[in-house]
Amino acid sequence: MSSTPVLSVVGVDFVREGRVILDHIDLEVQRGQHWALIGANGAGKSTLLSLLGAVQHPTRGTVEVLGKRLGRVELRELRTLIGHVNPRHQLLNPLTAREVVLTGGTGGTELPMRWSPSPAEVERADYLLELLGMGALREARWPNLSQGERGRTLIARALQADPHVLLLDEPSTGLDIAAREQLLDRIDQLREQHPDLASVLVTHHLEELPASTTHAMLLRDGKVVAQGPADEVLTTELVSETLDYPVTISRHEGRWAVRTRRGSPNMPEQA
C-alpha cells in the first residue's frame, strides 16, 4: 500500500473579500481513514471540503490529492479521483436513480447527448445501488425519490468512477430520524466493504456521525481546535470549547450523543 497520503493540506489559508475563512490549516488523511469535520455554522468546514474536492484553491499553502498538487494538475482529471456528495444536487431532467449514478462517470450532472453507457458501467451502477439499498428503485425517477433515497443514490453516484476518496457534505441534511439512521448504516457498510477508501464528512451534529468514523477535526472561526483519532478529539472539553457552549459528549455502540451540561452558568433560567 502506498504511503502517500490520500489528502494533504499544509499551512492553508483561505481569504474571501478580506475575511479569513481558514487560518493555517494542516490535515493529512491516509487510506482507510474516515474523518469528520466538526464545527458550528461558519466555522469553515464546507470551505475546507471544497479545497479537498479541488473545487477551490487556497489563498496560501498547499493542497494535494493523491500526491497531485492543486495548481499543478489538470482539475478535470483530478476530480475523477474524488467522489463528492452534495445533498443539494440539482437536476434539470427527471433522471432515474440508475441514470443519476451513471452521471458519476461522465463529469456532469446530466447524461451527455448521444452517449450510451457500457455494459460494465451499467453493471457497476446497479451494484452500487444494491450496495446502498437502492436496488429496487433503480428505475425510479429523481423527483419521486425521498430525501433519504436521494442521499443514498448520490453516494452511489460518487462511487461510480471508483474514486480513492469520498467527500460528504452534511449528507443527513433534511432527513428524518429513520432515513438518517438508514443512511448512516449504509455508510458504515460501504466503509467495511471498501477498506482502502478514505472519506471526509462534514457536519455540525455529532449524532450524524457514522460509527465507522476514525478521526476528527474540530474547527472554530476557521482555526483548528483539535484533530486526531476520534475518541481523543470528540471529548466533552474539546467540543464545548469548539462550540463555545458547555455540552457533555457520550458514545454508545460506536455512535456519539450530545447533551447540554446541566448546572452550567450559560444555561437559561427555567420559568
Q: What is the pLDDT along the chain (271 residues), one digit of tens a residue?
A: 457 899 999 999 999 989 999 999 999 999 999 999 999 988 999 999 999 988 889 999 999 998 889 888 777 777 778 888 877 777 778 899 999 999 888 877 777 788 888 999 999 999 999 988 899 999 999 999 988 899 889 989 988 988 889 999 988 888 889 888 988 998 998 899 889 999 999 998 899 999 999 999 999 999 999 999 999 999 999 999 999 999 999 999 899 999 987 665 555 444 3
What is the DSSP pairing of strand 198-203 with strand 68-69?
unpaired
Tell me the fold of 1-81+164-175+194-262: Rossmann fold (3.40.50)
At residue 37, what is the residue type?
Answer: L
Is residue 89 classed as helix, strand or coil in its secondary structure? coil
Distance CA 12, CA 86 (A): 23
C-alpha cell at 213: 468514523
Residue ranges matching CATH 3.40.50.300 in the chain: 1-81+164-175+194-262
Residue with cell 492543486: 70
pTM: 0.87
What is each CA distance from 211 to 139, 167, 207, 242, in whole angstroms?
31, 17, 10, 21
